[in-house]
Amino acid sequence: MGDSSDNIPGVKGIGIKTAQKLLQDYDNIDDLYQHLDEIKGSTKNKLKNEKETAYLSKKLVQLMVDAPIEEIFEDKEIIYQGFRENLRDFLKKLDFNSILKELDMPDTTTNSTKVTAETKAEKKDYSTKGKYYEYNAQDYKELLKILEKYEIISFDLETSSLDPYQADIVGIALSCKPFEGYFLYLYKEKDRWEITKEIVDLLNTKKIIGQNLKYDMTVLKVNGIELNKVYFDSMIAAYLLNPDSRRFNMDDLAKEYLDYKTIKYKEVMGKDIKLLTLGDIDKKRVVEYAGEDADIAYRLFEVLKPKLEEFELFELFEKIEMSTINVLSEMEMNGVYFDLKELQKLEEEYNKKLNSLMYEMKKIVGYDFNPNSPKQVGELLFENLGLKGKRKTKSGSYSTDADSLEALRDEHPIIEKLLEYRKYQKLLSTYIIAIPKLVNKKTGRVHTSFNQTGTATGRLSSSDPNLQNLPIREEDGERIRSTVKAQKDDYVLLSADYSQIELRVLAHLTNDETLINAFNNGEDIHALTASAIFGVKIDDVDYNMRRVGKVVNFSLVYGSSPYGLAENLKIPVEDAKDFMEKYFKTYQKVKEYQESSLKIATQKGYVETIFGRKRFLKNIKTGKSELKRIVINTPIQGSAADIMKLAMINLYKKLPKEAKLILQVHDEVVIELPEKIVEETKKNGSRLYGKCGQIEYTFKSRYQCRKKLAKMIIIIMYN
């Protein structure tokens, strides 16, 4: 039957049903052609006329068995002999990292960045078990005396829930040096939060380290306790060393960096994991589990801090990432208020719209079908209506996803209705019905999680729920977004949005005079690009031309190819190539910057932002064209992300107490505040950083560059 997505031609006219029947009747393709005379009708003629194509299709999907791989496997005996170290080296050579993990063979000879330089830290054996001691409410003063002797302390709260508003404290795990830990058991103690506050007050005079400290900080804030001086988070440190990884939990980090197998939460909780909390488990097991958590966090600190310094990442870690934790904890606790009455109205309205669309679709095709079923939609379009699909799925049937339907939009009136139905169905299920279920009963607000380790470029992400993905396009999406409101009658929302931040960073990095002059003179950069690629005066650029100019600007910032640009604009590839040539002729330094970036990245083995954030290319598993895109885009998007974090840190420190940061959506922050202080807040924001004069592009050092650019962009946000 062939496969158009892989360019397998197949026998024309043979579909999935015919192919399945033939394979049931005959053992293989040779058997089929030996009994060709048994096959009747047009199928026989199709097979006979395209025998060569049939065998070619088979060849195209077969694995090659004669690839020259003998040299790689000349030491294959080690696999069967079971020599652990040899097997580890062999799997490392082939980059089989997942298998190494499955076989419990962590790579202890290199760091997660896979850069071969030796760390400056003295090597220690961190793989042995530690000793953990139990304290209770009655003797916690003795623990305080121990803690007073140390400057650096690992801290971890053990709670009854992952929801900070539902969590009660089970105890506090602490470690002051490797291989040793303490657990202060406080479950159901009457004065547990008072004791916790006393512990935290002492910790605030120390350097606090831990794993995912944002959670601990938020739980404490909910209960009126401020943990205001966090020094080192092992999760964030590991992320900076390998931002393309997705494994930053303590269990994985302990394996990777310490060759240590931790006690798993599931092992402690047993079969009743959904019914019980740590407070219901045998105390000795909890002490061992919790004490180990604090101990391992301390061991990771000793290993990861020197690595951050070695790769010149500690300044970024300390001044941006660690300072951002406070801000994100505050935002998560503040939450976002939704107008549930408006959402209820939208639910009723959208249900009516869906029912109306169902009636119209039935009228067009003459029978009932389920528009949410890919199978039924496929049968309708490709069998009953005879439309020609554009792309096949792995099962061999034509795809009915959004892109495939969009390509068929002009083929039949039912397509338009299907696309509209799916749009309303998605808005209804993803937002209108889902959001009210996520409202916290105590606060009446939705509390998302902001993730520092969710993207490789340094951008923040949001989950449970994803409030960075609220729809903004078209009127229907805007109506959902407008249900985000201030909770009190005399409060409003203030949005601060960057003005084309990534293009401004591009101007800074490339030193392109045309871009710099355009920004300094307040010109419309998208209209300027449209003027260049369409060959018209800037005053003659219309709305559609400007839209194309905007797509070209951002596509090329992201390192798009002519094919990618053509796809975005829905134009021929030759036209896209022409647009790109005119773009690079206008902004010549941009082309030079992209070419030099690729050369430098190849030499160094990594790309970096203005602030020194790095992505190590050996850690990125992707094709050549995608790697090129990453090299070109990461310094721009990553620098913009760093600047946004700096802005958030400064806002957090300087905003009036009544004003609360509630959301960050890439290049925008949203503040909830009393209406009476809106103008004062805006003026103070501008006054804090002075007037934004002409942008300077030459600096004596990278540090000056960082400071100046961050200040410049923050002003743009306020203005």
- Predicted pLDDT of residue 620: 85
> Residue 435 in contact with residue 448, Cβ under 8 Å?
no
From the list 339, 336, 323, the residue with the least C-alpha distance to 663 is 336
Q: Are residues 284 and 370 in the same domain?
A: no
- Work out the pLDDT band at 661, boundaries 50, 70, 90: very high
What average pLDDT score do residues 330-343 get?
Answer: 96
> Residue 171 in contact with residue 186, Cβ under 8 Å?
yes
Q: How far apart are alpha carbons 34 and 48 in whole angstroms? A: 11
Beta pairing, strands 152-159 & 207-210? parallel
Enter the tokens of residue 95.
Answer: 């980059």
Neighbours of 551 (CB within 10 A): 18
Beta pairing, strands 449-451 & 461-463? antiparallel
Q: Are residues 254 and 150 in the same domain?
A: yes
> Residue 432 in contact with residue 343, Cβ under 8 Å?
yes
Q: Percentage of the chain with pLDDT > 90?
A: 59
Q: Are residues 306 and 183 in the same domain?
A: yes
What average pLDDT score do residues 246-263 get?
Answer: 93
Sign of CA dihedral 653, 658, 663, 667: negative
Burial track 35-51 (b if 16+ CB lie within 10 A, e otherwise): eeeebeeebeebbeebe
Q: Are residues 260 and 179 in the same domain?
A: yes
Looking at the predicted structure, is the pLDDT value of residue 618 above 90?
no
DSSP state of 263: P
Q: Are residues 203 and 344 in the same domain?
A: no
Enter the tokens of residue 127.
Answer: 């793989």
- Work out the pLDDT band at 706, boundaries 50, 70, 90: very low
Q: How far apart are alpha carbons 95 and 105 in whole angstroms? A: 13
Looking at the predicted structure, is the pLDDT value of residue 26 above 50?
yes
Taking all residues of the chain, what is their mean pLDDT, rounded to a whole number?
86
Enter the tokens of residue 217.
Answer: 């900080």
Q: How far apart are alpha carbons 717 and 305 in whole angstroms? A: 34
- Predicted pLDDT of residue 88: 76
- 418, containing H or E segment: helix 413-427
Q: Are residues 304 and 346 in the same domain?
A: no
Looking at the predicted structure, is the pLDDT value of residue 252 above 90?
yes
Q: Are residues 258 and 146 in the same domain?
A: yes
Looking at the predicted structure, is the pLDDT value of residue 719 above 60?
no
Looking at the predicted structure, is the pLDDT value of residue 344 above 70?
yes
Does 249 fall in a domain? yes
> Residue 642 in contact with residue 320, Cβ under 8 Å?
yes
> Residue 465 in contact with residue 435, Cβ under 8 Å?
yes
Q: What phi and psi values does residue 695 have, to the nearest 5 degrees? A: -75, 130
Does 346 fall in a domain? yes
Alpha helices in 573-658 (DSSP H): 573-586, 588-604, 624-654
Does 553 fall in a domain? no
Enter the tokens of residue 161.
Answer: 């829930």
Looking at the predicted structure, is the pLDDT value of residue 601 above 70?
yes
Q: Are residues 249 and 360 in the same domain?
A: no
> Residue 660 in contact with residue 687, Cβ under 8 Å?
no
- Predicted pLDDT of residue 115: 37
Q: Are residues 166 and 291 in the same domain?
A: yes
**CATH number of the domain within which 411 lies:** 1.20.1060.10
Q: How many CA atoms lie within 13 A of 610 on its CB side?
A: 29
Enter the tokens of residue 707.
Answer: 């400071």
**CATH number of the domain within which 167 lies:** 3.30.420.10
Does 188 fall in a domain? yes
> Residue 718 in contact with residue 650, Cβ under 8 Å?
no
Domain boundary among 416, 437, 458: 437
Q: Are residues 208 and 266 in the same domain?
A: yes
- Work out the pLDDT band at 61, boundaries 50, 70, 90: confident
Looking at the predicted structure, is the pLDDT value of residue 667 above 60?
yes
- Predicted pLDDT of residue 464: 87
Q: Which domain holds residue 254?
A: 131-311
What average pLDDT score do residues 571-578 get?
Answer: 92
- Predicted pLDDT of residue 693: 29
Looking at the predicted structure, is the pLDDT value of residue 80 above 70?
no
* pLDDT per position as a tens digit, 441-478: 999 999 999 999 999 999 999 998 899 988 877 788 88
- 534, containing H or E segment: helix 525-534
What average pLDDT score do residues 299-316 get?
Answer: 96
pTM of the complete model:
0.78
Does 582 fall in a domain? no
Q: Torsion over CA of 256, 260, 266 and 267, rounded to 10 degrees?
A: 160
Domain boundary among 293, 311, 329: 311
Sign of CA dihedral 103, 109, 111, 113: negative
Residue 689 vs residues 666, 670, 713: alpha-carbon distances, Å: 22, 19, 10
What burial class does residue 168 get, using C-beta atoms within 10 Å of its C-beta: 0-12 exposed, 13-18 middle, 19+ buried? middle
Q: Quote the number of domains for the chain.
A: 3
Burial track 651-666 (b if 16+ CB lie within 10 A, e otherwise): bbeebeeebbbbbbbb
> Residue 608 in contact with residue 113, Cβ under 8 Å?
no
**CATH number of the domain within which 35 lies:** 1.10.150.20
Does 210 fall in a domain? yes
* Residues 6+ away with beta carbon under 8 Å from 325: 213, 214, 217, 230, 233, 236, 452
* pLDDT per position as a tens digit, 497-523: 888 899 999 999 999 999 999 999 999
- Predicted pLDDT of residue 106: 62
Lowest mean pLDDT among 78-92, 182-196, 340-354, 413-427: 78-92
Residue 541 vs residues 347, 537, 538, 545: alpha-carbon distances, Å: 41, 7, 5, 6
Q: Are residues 300 and 355 in the same domain?
A: no
- Predicted pLDDT of residue 643: 93
Does 623 fall in a domain? no
- Predicted pLDDT of residue 97: 75
Looking at the predicted structure, is the pLDDT value of residue 306 above 90?
yes
Does 425 fall in a domain? yes
What burial class does residue 104 get, using C-beta atoms within 10 Å of its C-beta: 0-12 exposed, 13-18 middle, 19+ buried? exposed
Q: Are residues 300 and 344 in the same domain?
A: no
Residues β-bridged to residue 172: 157, 184
Domain boundary among 257, 292, 311: 311
